[in-house]
Structure 1
Amino acid sequence: MKVAKGGNLVLCAGEAQLYTLDQLMRASVELLGRGTMGITYKAVLGNRLIVTVKQLDARLAGTSK
């Protein structure tokens, strides 16, 4: 797990390249769904890499969930 400097972007599954929050914010996104933990998006980055992004609900910050 890696955290990009200047943002709260966390990459899982051993990604070798580190993407910035700015790159993610410029990505083409599609809403996949809303759940109890937050919202899930499909994002297509500038290099055509497709990633799934989970925006955690702010109420969960600082909890053990």
Structure 2
Amino acid sequence: DNGMMESFFGILKSEMFYGYEKTFKSLNQLEQAIIDYIDYYNNKKIKIKLKGLSPVQYRTKSFG
């Protein structure tokens, strides 16, 4: 079991899929929306738990 990934996919589904299912006209559109969301989540979404940084910013700061 991977709790972190299960949590991420739960967030992804609730923020960009549930209620928007009919928005996607093809699997390609859905795939691109998922790719865009992952980019947003990792690079732009601010997380209070990560001291107000995005996950990538937090990792970069930790290793820098």
* Structure 1 and Structure 2 fold alike (TM over 0.5): no
Pairwise TM-score range, normalised by the shorter structure: under 0.3
Instruction: Name whichever structure is richer in strand by fraction.
Output: 1
Based on CA coordinates, which of the two structures has the bigger radius of gyration? 2
